[in-house]
Structure 1
Amino acid sequence: MIPEESRFESDPEELVSDPPLPDGWEIGTPDASDRFEVARLTHLLRAHERHGRGWAGASVDDVLVEVSEHGLRTRENVVVRDPEGQIQAWGSVHDRAGGRMLYVHIVSRELAPPIARKCSDVLFEWARGQARAVGAARGLDTQQIDTGAFEDDDRQHAWLDSAGFRKVRTWWQMSRPVEPEEIGLVPDPDEWEKKGARFRLVDREGQGLPDEADLRAVHDVLEAAFVDHFNSFEESYGEFLHRLREDPGHRWNHWWLVELVDDVPEGLEAPEGRHPAVGALIGTVSHNATGPDSSYVSYIGVVDGARGRGVAKGLLRTIVADAARRGRVSVGLEVDADSSTHAHKLYESMGWRTKYVTQSWHLDVPVD
């Protein structure tokens, strides 16, 4: 369930009472209604991306997901300002699921190393305090902080290591080009059927919300598909829906469900009047500032009892065909480089190639 009020501490000075900053430097919270502050945060985020992987992709919309009033029931932010009032560092936390808190840690690339390190230390101290706050609100003994880094960002790696974080996973960020003729990969991206499996968009009436039974089926499939995967935390239906609708690239017509309508194995059940849901894919739109948009596979999952029937491959063919129909230039996705399922082999066989590499770093914070 989404909390009525934030589980975080809104006053950064309660968590960082004596910041190790030079005279005139201050900690505070960003003002999402101030377009200059939002522009500054966007600049910092894009510079962070450019340094880490060679190019920037973030937009103002990505920043607003973190700092806007709409998201503050599940998020909190801190900034460090220099004596001129310019934001030089930014931290953001997201109460993602019970036991798992996502964390963004960005420090200006224009600062001299000594002051940059002090800003980094302030952000880490604040994040540990927020972990204790949200963990206590959820009644936990330990709260995980989950943050990411680009593979080639040595400064970030050194800071994370010295703050007690450990590198726990590597992720390949993959992409494949889309050709116009690939619209024919499936009979119709909206709905098609093969070998007793029906691939379809979630049901909608006009431009309104999709059918809730379909949305719950997508949530249930993904929860079941990832229950044994790395760092899987149970996420309620409300948390799941709220988070995905915040994504700037969210589109209801990029949510697919797979049902078995024939040859249903034992153990796969469904509510009365429905077929068993065994696969799901949630796609989003990735906007390109200098050219056509791309599609992105945010989630793809298949339940155990339906694996080996071509469900995952059928879903991937569907989003590629849909991208071709929409004039998109590519489809991106993320894959766990350390997964025992070797999912990357399927992606590589279908044309995906690694574009850049990221890492997950974790810190477990005891909750007082």
Structure 2
Amino acid sequence: MRENIVVRDESDAIRAWASVHDRAEGRMLLVHIVDRELPTDVATACSDVLFEWAHAQAERVGAERRLSVQQIDTGAFRDDERQHVWLEAAGFERVRTWWQMSRSVTAEEAELVPDPARWEQDGVVFRLVERQGDGMPDEGDLRAVHDVLEGAFTDHFNHAEETFHEFLHRLREDPGHRWDHWWLAEVDGEAAGALVGTVSESTKGPDGSYVAYLGVLESARGRGVAKGLLNTIIADAAVSGRDRVGLEVDADSPTGADGLYVAMGWGTKYVTESWHKDVPVSG
């Protein structure tokens, strides 16, 4: 699902790197990084090589999936003018803005919920995915998480349907992946909300938690499901000795999710952008 390329200098040091990820049908993610200490002309040449390679990878991935067009989805920091120039020159278009938000966590917030592993409020049960005797999660619960997230994000920007196995494989590749950070919310005994969290490791000071995915089915909205799941990961972070919880929110989301995050103490640390390019697939 992933391919990588590096550009080395005469001393064999890596000065540029790109990675592509066949994220889902029709959507390929691209990471594109060039050393900021390189002279402008050398840095631009490295960037060109990375984009040419990514274009070829898009053609290959699209052909393997038998598509006529393959999207390349990459990003940039809002204030990174160098990257903007390169992206525009390579035929990419800026399509979306994202707020990268963070919230401090205090030890006292361990009391936000009775028990992050399982608690109930107003008929909604919040619980970790169940574990089997060997410590692995219950497949039925994992499928419930996948189904909830697919159902919750169907109408969201650039959503591409992902199979259960693609979803599971991709999330397990995350360095911060932990099975004990997957929660379900059940309404009337049926899964209606899900939160997948990860650990943000730090070399200085406490680690943090991160909300990789939070989704609530439309039929369950207005029942406090999202707020309950967020309180759960905050409390879990406090119990674990972590000092923050991060997340990403679509600045143009029609759901108004940012309002809930701000009300619960999140603030924007920095802003990123999505840039897309559609690559025709020959043959």
Partner in structure 1 of residue 44 of structure 2? 117
CA positional deviation for 1:301: 0.2
Q: Deviations over 1:156-193 (max 9, x none)?
A: 01100111101111110001111111111111111011
Matches within 5 A, 1:173-212: 173-206=100-133, 208-212=135-139
User: Does residue 169 of the first structure (1) align with residue 83 of the second (2)?
Assistant: no
Task: Give 1:290's aligned amino acid.
Answer: K
Partner in structure 2 of residue 40 of structure 1? none
CA distance in 2, matches of 1:293, 1:123: 33
Partner in structure 1 of residue 249 of structure 2? 335
Give the alignment partner of residue 234 of structure 2, picking from 303, 314, 320: 320
| TM-score normalised by the chain length of structure 2 | 0.98
Task: Give 2:151's aligned amino acid.
Answer: A
Partner in structure 2 of residue 288 of structure 1? 202
Give the alignment partner of residue 217 of structure 2, picking from 293, 296, 303: 303
Unmatched runs of 5 consecutive residues or more in structure 1: 1-73, 262-274
Matches within 5 A, 1:51-62: none
Task: Give 2:2's aligned amino acid.
Answer: R
CA distance in 2, matches of 1:199, 1:207: 23
Identical aligned residues as a percent:
68
Aligned length: 282
Q: Which moved more, 1:126-135 or 1:180-189?
A: 180-189
User: Does residue 105 of the first structure (1) align with residue 32 of the second (2)?
Assistant: yes
Structure having greater relative contact order (Cα 8 Å, sep ≥ 6) = 2
Give the alignment partner of residue 175 of structure 2, picking from 243, 248, 256: 248
Matches within 5 A, 1:1-368: 74-206=1-133, 208-261=135-188, 275-368=189-282
Task: Give 2:57's aligned amino acid.
Answer: Q
Q: Deviations over 1:68-122 (max 9, x none)?
A: xxxxxx1111122223333221111001100000001111112111111111111
CA distance in 2, matches of 1:331, 1:337: 18
Partner in structure 2 of residue 8 of structure 1? none
Unmatched runs of 5 consecutive residues or more in structure 2: none
CA distance in 1, matches of 2:48, 2:190: 50
CA distance in 2, matches of 1:77, 1:198: 42
CA distance in 1, matches of 2:249, 2:79: 18
Greater percentage in strand? 2
CA distance in 2, matches of 1:87, 1:324: 39
SS state at 1:297 partner = strand
CA positional deviation for 1:207: 5.3
Task: Give 2:95's aligned amino acid.
Answer: V
CA distance in 2, matches of 1:193, 1:80: 53
SS state at 2:16 partner = strand
SS state at 2:268 partner = strand
| TM-score normalised by the chain length of structure 1 | 0.75
RMSD across aligned positions (CA)? 0.9
CA positional deviation for 1:206: 4.7
